[in-house]
Structure 1
Amino acid sequence: EKDGALERRFQPIIVDQPSQEDTIRILYGLKSKFEEFHNVEYKPEAIEKAVTLSERYITERNLPDKAIDVIDEAGSLVKLRAYQLPPDLRDIEEKIKEIEEKKEEAASEQDYEKAARLRDEELRLRAKLESLKAKWKQEMAANRPKVTEEDVAEVVARWTGIPVKRIHENDMEKLLHIEEELHKRVIGQDDAIKAVARAIRRSRVGLKGRHRPIGVFLFLGPTGVGKTETAKALAEYLFGSEEALVRFDMSEYMEKHTVSRLVGAPPGYVGYEEGGQLTEKVRRRPYSVLLFDEIEKAHPDVFNIFLQIFDDGRLTDAMGRTVDFANTIIIMTSNLGARLIAHGSQMGFEKKFGMIDYEQMKKNVLDQVKKSFSPEFLNRLDEVIVYRPLEKEDVVKILELQLEQVNRSLHEWNVKVRLHKSFVDWIIDREYKPEYGARSLKRALQHHVEDLLAEELLKGTLADVELVEIRVKEDKPYIKPVKKKEKLEAIFNQ
């Protein structure tokens, strides 16, 4: 304070956030008031769950405030759900409305005898309704609806956007099956998936700093081999949705002044009150996967910010708010590996499928990484993962996955599509480019399959067909209809 005389007349008292155990005791003290107000009953498990879930998922607020709001809203939710009128009472209310309309109609037609009869019927029904309502309220008061753990989880899910199933699911069970889930979407990268899963499990069991991010990874390798798909799969499996993936293109942060875009503009500059792009996104969605594309293009000052996040798991934005990164997975990608592989191809060391020496390529890539990044940056990473170029069997599986997406899109047309072996071999030989990875296949499927299907669907030629097969004849793909009565076989007809 500028006024020292005023300052010494006050004694500062620092009020820290209470522990989870203290918060539970506070909630038990407030429990009766909320039960009386909402006319519900809180189970002990619901009280404890409100504290643990709010502390885990609502990071921008403090205890006991956030836990109190959770049980308040959970009580309101249960009350609204439970205190809806029974169907028989709603039927009586509808009848009363009908009688009121008929009574007004009779009065307007000057049929007063009919209006009087309808009035008596209305009074009788209203008396019956009031009697039944009073009885129903007594029964509800005697048997208050209970607020359970599921209700608390639903409230937290609404606040955070994380699905209830993910909030309520056993974390340990989920962590044991990471490889299995990632393999459904990421093909041919066993080493990468195992390394990611091991690092995440280590973190969750508490074998490293409590405040550090869940995992910090550097993905290397050619384009189109599954680096971004791994990040998407992690976001969906661990945090419930691909929307939990926050992506940054680091080519936009090549200049020194762009650092302020991540943490917010300094006081007095335009955009000060808007916050930083990185800090705001993590503050609003603390459970997320952060993907930094082409990390080698970022300015050195950006790396200084990353060092703090990797070490302490927190970052202070321009407005002085501390943002917690402890519940994020940080993935950085680099195309350093792609350049070396392209160079190997020019020198004749690379075939369409299969590197002659993957281990040598990996060593070359890692040597390049050590030259491009500082030791203090590399030492803070959990894993540096080099993705393998795709083999032919991987490409076939990726085609199958992409075809499943096409079939999901065709659901409303009641048509399914499969690929004949002749087409699979033809599209791989003709369209697959190792330097573009699986992305070249996606474009090829759009051109050779989706365009053909769209044309035939609009013509109406597939109206009586349940299954079609894409074949090749004279170096040109065509659609062969299969009638409904024919048995559906596997997507790939060998």
Structure 2
Amino acid sequence: MSRVDAALPVVEQSQAPADTAAATAEDSSDAVSAEASNPSGESTATAKATESTEQIDTEALKTELRKAADELKELQGETPLMSPVVDSQAIAEVISGWTGIPVGKMVADEILAIMKLEETLGERVLGQDHALLEISERIKTSRARLTDPKRPIGVFLLVGTSGVGKTETALALAETLYGGEKNLISINMSEYQEAHTVSSLKGSPPGYVGYGEGGVLTEAVRRKPYSVVLLDEVEKAHPDVMELFYQVFDKGVLEDGEGREIDFKNCIILLTSNVATDLIMSLNADPETRPDPKGLEEAIRPELVKAFKPALLGRMVTVPYYPISDDVLKEIVKLQLGKIERRIANNHDAKFTYDESVVDTVASRCTDVDSGARNVINILMGTLLPEMSGEVLSRMATGEGISKAHVSVGDDENFVYEIS
């Protein structure tokens, strides 16, 4: 009991900020509601004065309402504790919690999101415009209800070297169409190189060990029927395992180990493969003679037939990905530095800047062509951020905090940090 009694003040103290935030949010929300519910222009505090002689300044009250709404929005941030009004978004979020259907699927903005899908994906996946166009057009056609309703929204085989944006495409689709990256079901198919492993995907049949536990794939889709399914390194899976997907691609359903039909009709299925990597690199070695997307697909077709049965290839849309060029690599560096900038602004309320030489230096250190854009993240996480963290932690330890952080490159090609 003494340990419990000693821990109580700590728990109460840690709970205090959340309670304070909730109380402040409620007060701000009440202020917005009170102002908004008085269209005649009279506030509660001035009602008596109005009844006597004074006329309320309507514009002043509107200004006060906008100010209260802005304060509430700033206080709540990205995850508001409450909403001043019960609108369509609030209702959609409640229903989403009940049904598992993402919010984006239940509001009118979903159509607009699909219409701008290629543009939205292009903000995260760079240098693969042809692939994003192909995927976007197929999804638009499905959403317009012009395709077979029994099949999944789309089934795509993304072929290319490592680090060119295949996995990032899956993450971007989940974020844009299904309300967040949490609605991405990712399965590493290199773990299914034996024929008997098919049971772990769909669940064990009655009488076998693991019956009733559900399969890795079927249980995930049953819980999240609206999701992106990513089957990574699919060429490494056993052919018998891949035959499991024929029914999924054709009819949009898969029977699990307990005999239940799992619905895949609301899923986007992406399969990634590193087949024909050497051929893709050689064909794109010279930018002047680089083939167009259709030509690249035809060139790698013989290699794909060696790895996959023609019947399986015929059920998928093959989308080749180009290797990352130097110009695209620099844009990816800027994209990752932008994420660091937002992180510092959100966590430290500080400004982050960098010289153009930082972009060139990071790009020049990406010498492993087989890793593609993953090199950028490795360099930033392995050098720039750890070196910055020492100075930031030193200032935090003394209670100084930071207001600005700038990164440049010194004469020795190492990063130089100016933190204040």
TM-score (norm 1): 0.63
2:148 is aligned with 1:209: yes
Q: CA deviation at 1:160?
A: 3.4
Report the residue type matching 1:173 in the other structure. Answer: L
Following the alignment from structure 1 to structure 2, what is the Cα–Cα distance between the partners of residues 275 and 165? 28
Per the alignment, residue 189 of structure 1 pairs with: 128
Change in CA separation of 1:151 and 1:460 when aligned onto 2, cut-off 3 Å: closer
Match of 2:290 in 1: 357
> Do the aligned partners of 1:279 and 1:323 also contact (CA within 8 Å) in 2?
yes
| 2:410 is equivalent to residue 472 of structure 1 | yes
Residue number among 369, 388, 392 corresponding to 2:322 in the alignment: 388
Of residues 140, 161, 179, the one that matches 1:240 is 179
How do residues 105-254 of structure 1 correspond to structure 2 at under 5 angstroms? 153-254=92-193
Q: Does 1:413 align with 2:348?
A: yes
Q: Establish whether residue 437 from structure 1 lines up as the match of residue 381 from structure 2.
A: no
**Cα distance in 2, alignment partners of residues 156 and 365 from structure 1:** 46
Q: Given the alignment, which residue of 183, 194, 197 partners 1:255?
A: 194
CA deviation after TM superposition for structure 1 residue 183, in Å:
0.7
Over alpha carbons, which structure has the higher Rg?
A: 1
Map Cα deviations across residues 298-330 of structure 1 (whole Å, 9 max, x no partner).
Answer: 111222211110000011111111111100000
Deviates more, 1:154-163 or 1:205-214: 154-163
Match of 2:46 in 1: none
- AA aligned opposite 1:333: T
Map 1:33-112 onto structure 2 (within 5 A): none
Matched residues, percent identical?
39
What letter corresponds to residue 362 of structure 2 in structure 1?
I
CA contact (8 A) 2:118 2:136 kept: yes
Per the TM alignment, residue 240 of structure 1 is displaced from its structure 2 partner at its CA by 0.2
Alpha-carbon contact 2:275-2:303 (below 8 Å) kept:
yes
Corresponding residue SS for 2:127: coil
Distance 2:92 2:402 in 1: 47
Cα deviation for residue 222 of structure 1 reads 0.7
Q: Secondary structure at the match of 2:362?
A: helix
1:267 and 2:201 are equivalent in the alignment = no
> Given the superposition, is the C-alpha separation of residues 448 and 417 from structure 1 closer, same or farther in structure 2, using an over 3 Å criterion?
farther
2:332 corresponds to 1:332:
no
Contact 2:333/2:362 (8 A) holds in 1: no
Amino acid of the structure 2 residue aligned with 1:399? V
Give the Cα–Cα distance (whole angstroms) in 2 for the partners of residues 399 and 184 of structure 1: 13
For residue 355 of structure 1, report the CA deviation from its aligned partner. Answer: 7.5
Does the 8 A contact of 2:352 with 2:406 survive in 1?
yes
Q: CA 1:322–1:463 in structure 2 vs 1: closer, same or farther (change >3 Å)? A: closer
TM-score by length of 2: 0.73
Measure the CA separation in 1 of the matches of 2:285 and 2:116: 35
Cα distance in 1 for residues equivalent to 2:238 and 2:380: 38
Work out the CA distance in 1 between the residues paired with 2:335 and 2:318. 27
* Equivalenced residues, count: 333
Amino acid at match of 2:175: E
Question: Unpaired segments of 5 or more residues in structure 1?
Answer: 1-85, 87-146, 484-494
Are 2:358 and 2:407, in contact at CA under 8 Å, matched by a contact in 1?
A: no
Match of 1:423 in 2: 358
Partner of residue 63, structure 2 = none
Change in CA separation of 1:332 and 1:250 when aligned onto 2, cut-off 3 Å? same
**Conserved in 1, the CA contact under 8 Å of 2:297 and 2:319?**
no
SS of corresponding position for 1:405: helix
In structure 1, what residue type is equivalent to 2:130? Answer: D
Q: How many Å separate the matches in 2 of 1:318 and 1:398?
A: 43
Distance 2:87 2:348 in 1: 43
Whole-angstrom CA distance in 1 between matches of 2:358 and 2:182:
35
Return closer, same or farther for 1:163/1:209 CA change in 2, 3 Å cut-off.
Answer: closer
Aligned to 2:18: none
SS of residue in 2 equivalent to 1:282? helix
- Matched-pair contact (CA < 8 Å) for 1:220–1:333: yes
**Equivalent of 1:372 in 292, 297, 307:** 307
What is the CA-CA distance between 1:295 and the residue it aligns to? 0.8
On the 8 A contact 2:229/2:269 being kept in 1, the answer is: yes
1:306 partnered with 2:245: yes
Distance 1:150 1:440 in 2: 39
Between the aligned partners of 2:349 and 2:179, the Cα distance in structure 1 is 29
1:217·1:330 contact (CA, 8 Å) conserved in 2? yes
